[in-house]
Each structure stands twice: as structure tokens, then as C-alpha cells.
Amino acid sequence: MKLISWNVNGIRAAQRKGFLDWLGAESPDVLTVQETKAHPEQLAARLRQPEGYQSWWASAERKGYSGVGLFSKSQPRAVQVGLGIEKFDSEGRTLSADFGDFTLISTYLPNGKASAERLRYKMEYKEAFLDYAKDLRAAGKSVVFCGDINTAHNEIDLTHPKPNAKHSGFLREERDWIDNVLAQGYIDIYRHRNPDKEGAYTWWSLRSGARAKNVGWRIDYFFISSDLLERVVAAEIHPDVMGSDHCPISLTLDF
């Protein structure tokens, strides 16, 4: 079962850059997308529900902002839009789907760079999100969660760690949250399989030719509950796929 997560930085813009051709060629079982910047009714039918897929959407109240989507070849047992907390769900940041063998959660964490208030909001969302995942684990569910976490975990995960140590995205309190995720039994599966790999990034600034120089950050993740580790076939980053300032990441599981 192949899962892909991709921050598309505007799904309509991604469509103009070949998103549907890429999806048809890649043909994942499940694709989650973040930062869709659209409501489903704003999308052409073939983008809203591509051939061979069913789709679900969590959209922000504010037009052209945030939003996540999920495309699946198979029908999940259940899909939940949001966390059930209005101040987070109004920004369209969470979708979860129960596939029986595991529950998949797609998330787009807030960016905390704009202000101290937005950083607080980001940290509050992180805690609420992790509480939601805890409840699923307590109910006996295996959990995979993925998406744009908007945080690089360790120095290996960005090109310039020292200059960014006091900037949101690499603050100690943000990184501590990922430490807490791991302490609760989740595995950052890409880093688990590639512990020493440098230059493995998922986001590059659109300025100064950063992507061509591979000056980037790894801020997109697949985390799995530890009981799924033996099911992992592959966990990859796909930096050659264009169409966004992020690249897709993938996880293949064997059931």
C-alpha cells in the first residue's frame, strides 16, 4: 500500500504544473495534500475527484488559505474532517481516514513565523493534534500521520541550523514537540531508515535558487506508531518532482 504526502502550495497552481499527470503516473493508493488553498467547489471535477479516486477535503474558512485533501483508491471505513476544535478546524488543517489496518492522519501545521500569536497558535495546535492521536492509540488503533509539520527536527534536517536557531521552524520548543512525538512511541520513518543522510530536504525557499543549490529543510514527515515498523517496505523523499516549493514524500506498507 503506497501512501504519498505532498504540500502542493495551491492545488490549482499544481494542476497547471502537471499535478494530474503526475498522479496518474505515480498511482499511489492514498495521496494526502496540504496547503490546497481551495474549497472543493472551486475545483474542476477532474481535480476534485481524479479518475480512480475518491476524495475528501478540509478547507479553511478564509478563501485561498491553508486546507488539506485526501485521495484514496479504496473506501476508508470512516473519515473525520478536523479535530473537533473550532479554532483549528476553521483553518482546514486536519483530515483522518480509518483504513482498518491503521488510521491515517494528514495535517498541515501552522507556520509560526508571522508573530508570537501565531507561534502560540502553532504550539496549541500541536498539543491538540497529539492528544487526538493519543486517543486513537488508546482505542487500539495503529496510526500513521503525515504532512507539513513546519518544523525541522535536528541540525541534519536543514542546511543552515545555526542562523535559524531563533526562528520559528527550528525553535527548541518546536523541536521538543517532535522529541515528545518520538517518546510516545512514534517513529520518524524516513530518518529511522536513513539516520545519517544529509541533504535530504522536502522544502526549499523560492528565493535565490535555493532548490537548485539544495539549500533546504526537511519539514514534511511520515510518523508511524511503532507497531507498524515491521510493515514498512520503503520510506522516500522525491526531490525531483516539481510543481511546488515542497516535494512529495512516500511510505509503502505491506499488509
Q: What is the pLDDT of residues 81-122, one digit of tens each?
A: 999 999 999 999 999 999 999 999 999 998 888 799 999 999
| CA of residue 47 relative to chain centroid, distance | 19
* Measured CA angle at 220 (ends 145, 191), to 5 deg: 85
Q: Which residues are catalytic?
A: 148
Q: Which residues contact 246 (CB under 8 A, 6 or more apart)?
A: 6, 7, 8, 9, 148, 202, 203, 220
How far apart, in whole angstroms, are the C-alpha atoms of residue 131 and residue 23?
32
**105, burial (CB in 10 Å: exposed 0-12, middle 13-18, buried 19+):** buried
Contact by Cβ (8 Å): 101, 74: no
Q: Check pLDDT > 90 for residue 7.
A: yes
Reported as a single tens digit per residue, the pLDDT across 36-82 is 999 999 999 999 999 999 999 999 999 999 999 999 999 999 999 99
Q: What percent of the chain has a predicted confidence (pLDDT) above 70?
A: 100
**The C-alpha cell that represents 104 in the structure block:** 491515517
